[in-house]
Amino acid sequence: MKRVLVVLVVLATLMTALVTAPAAGASDRSSPRPGRAPAEELGPWAIGYETFELVDAARGDRTLPVDVWYPVDADDAVGVPKAQLDLFVADYELEYALDAPEPAGKGRFPLVVFSHGSGGFRSQSWFYMQHLASHGYVVVAPDHVGNTALDGFFGTQIPGSEMVTLRPQDISFVMDEILAMNEDDDHRYDNLINERRIAVAGHSFGGYTALAIAGGVEALGLEADERVDAIIPLAGASNGMSDVDLENIDIPTLFLSSTDDVTVPLDPGTVRPFDLISSRRAYRVDILSGGHNSFVNICDLVDVLLEAGLPDVLLAQLISSAEEGCGADLINIDEAHRLTNLYSVAFLNDVFNRPGRNARYLTDDYAEANELPVDLYDLRRGEPRLRFSGVDPVGPLRDFRYCEMITLAGLPNADGLIEATVWNSMFLNDCPQDAFDAIDTAEVAADLGVTAAVKNGPRYWVLDAIAAEGATAGGEIYDFGGIEMRSSATVLVNPANRAPYSQTSVERDTVFSFFAGREVPILTDPHGNEYVMQSYSLEVDPELGLADVTEIGGDLGLPPGWTFEARFLDQQLDVVDQDGIATVVQDDLRNTYQLIAPA
């Protein structure tokens, strides 16, 4: 009977440390890549802004003004004037966003659709839009016509009983239109967006909108939009959704809320959906002393519109809203905005771009170390629990960081093979880079009385889960220069150097699983054999991340007849060894691939 056995993964990567180094310069890249900049700081891209209208003929020509905020390459930002927001009775020059420059050329950026609050407007949280765009996200924000500030002024409101249906429909319609532009060769948004990485964020009533589009609302006949991969309700309302509707939400979710919210109190506004959703990955961040409008540029709006002479009827409404964002007893709104940006970017990067390296922000340890005024809750349900030499980790293997030490004993036998012991850091620590770099392999060999010691890694898994036959080897733990590793296996290896793209056979009986919905790198050799990437390495390109592995084709020195592609899995891929033998290859960057099946 098969059982999950992570330890045998070492056999898949054993040859990693024993291959020839790739050509110099293979990792040179000049353009920014998502997920690298600190989440709380402005990202590496310049920011473009433009606004236009979309008309939904299927809903009686319902016309929605839409803002788009998008990444811009630095060269295309030179000389472009700052963008101006139309704030009803005044124009406001944005601090960072530029007036409709050319979108970034090397794109395929994740899409975030933003839904404003009741009586708000599409640009209400421009601090947020700019920050996300600077980190490599395309942000699209429509006005929910009939539920905006101007509708309140002109008396054109649509009843809330209708808006609960119209709002999620607005978001799906906007997604349809933007993705159509993305597929249009003649449109400036052509190939700008990665249609498989879509999130919806929303404030207040917009938080309901995000929840509704993720779980559906059965009573209204609304179905979940399956294109949405993650949601971020900001002080979101959840009334109007049944327990079953909320239980239907099974995608990554970040709840950002305020402890002093009067309009949508934390309990039940956030507590109820957080407790009910079925997401395998969900976080709740409560900003201490935050108000309902701590997620809006409400204080800036007050300053600008007071100076512009806002009509009294709107002024009274604005002052009332400002009390829940700019009040003296609340957290400074700039700090609230910083926290909102920090956790949103960290969460989105954790889902879409660089999971292993952004998850640190989403921990109590990070909040405590940086004295952040938040309460953080991390909810994970239903994730595979894998066993490794008696240790129970908490989560799947995808983008799990590890490193290894391979110790070789004795001389080669008649077949040229040497006995090797594999030591692995998995589930003991995250293999700190400085400590790993500092390990002296000659000292390790002398201390252990072996012929040689070879470092392997750090590496990250691309696969999701591993099942294997057989028993776990070893269990002894040894401290290699401050990094504890567990003795995982003893195998016979050929230490001879091998060039990239050469096949290596590994004896094991395993099933490597890649879940449906993943985009995975595939190598195809001249004979039609296909190999799927099982792990990526930082040995050659220390900046490589999970989001990058599907884009590295142009950086590889592929031999004649070899091809590279990123393939979307519409069903789970299980890679099974052939009669106890796994065939693996490595590319120039020392990423490891396994043969899916012989051609």
pLDDT reading at 51 higher than 50: yes
Between these two residues, 187 and 478, which has the higher pLDDT value?
Answer: 187
Number of other CB atoms surrounding residue 366 within 10 Å: 15
Higher per-residue pLDDT: 309 or 541: 541
pLDDT of residue 306 exceeding 60, the answer is: yes
pLDDT at 254 over 90: yes
What is the pLDDT at residue 82? 97
- The angle, 0 to 180 degrees and rounded to 10, between the axes of the packed helices 160-182 and 205-215 is 70
Query: What was the pLDDT predicted at 219?
Result: 97
40 vs 337: CA distance, rounded Å: 10
Compute the average pLDDT of residues 299-326: 83
Banded model confidence at residue 410, pLDDT cuts 50, 70, 90: confident
Which tens digit of pLDDT belongs to each residue from 199-219? 999 999 999 999 999 999 999
Q: Whose CA is closest to 126, among 287, 299, 248?
A: 299
Q: Is the pLDDT of residue 423 over 90?
A: no
CA distance 545 to 354: 6
Residue 282 tokens read as 């969900």
What pLDDT does residue 313 have? 66
Considering Cα of 546, then 548, then 551, then 555, what sign does the dihedral take? Answer: negative
pLDDT digits 0-9 by tens, 569-580: 888 888 887 766
pLDDT number for residue 2: 32
Higher pLDDT, 421 or 58: 58
Answer whether 136's CB lies under 8 Å from 109's CB.
yes
Which of the listed ranges 7-21, 29-43, 225-239 does the model predict with the highest average pLDDT?
225-239
- Average confidence (pLDDT) over 285-295: 97
Give the per-residue pLDDT at 490. 63
Instruction: Tell me what pLDDT residue 31 has.
Output: 57
Q: How far apart are CA 285 and CA 289, in angstroms?
A: 12
pLDDT of residue 382: 36
Quote the pLDDT of residue 33.
61
Closest Cα to residue 339, out of 327, 350, 351, 331? 331
Confidence of residue 543 (pLDDT cuts 50, 70, 90): confident
Supply the mean pLDDT for the chain: 85
Mean pLDDT, rounded, for 248-265: 96
How far is it, in rounded angstroms, from Cα 529 to Cα 597?
A: 7
For 128-147, write each residue's pLDDT tens digit: 999 999 999 999 999 999 99
Residue scoring higher pLDDT (315 or 172): 172
The answer to whether residue 15 scores a pLDDT higher than 70 is no
Residues 6+ apart with CB under 8 A from 65: 51, 52, 53, 122, 142, 143, 145
From 81-95, 374-388, 478-492, the region with the lowest mean pLDDT: 374-388
Give the model's confidence band at 351: pLDDT under 50 very low, under 70 low, under 90 confident, else very high. confident
Q: Give pTM, 2 decimals.
A: 0.68
pLDDT band at 503 (very low <50, low <70, confident <90, very high): confident
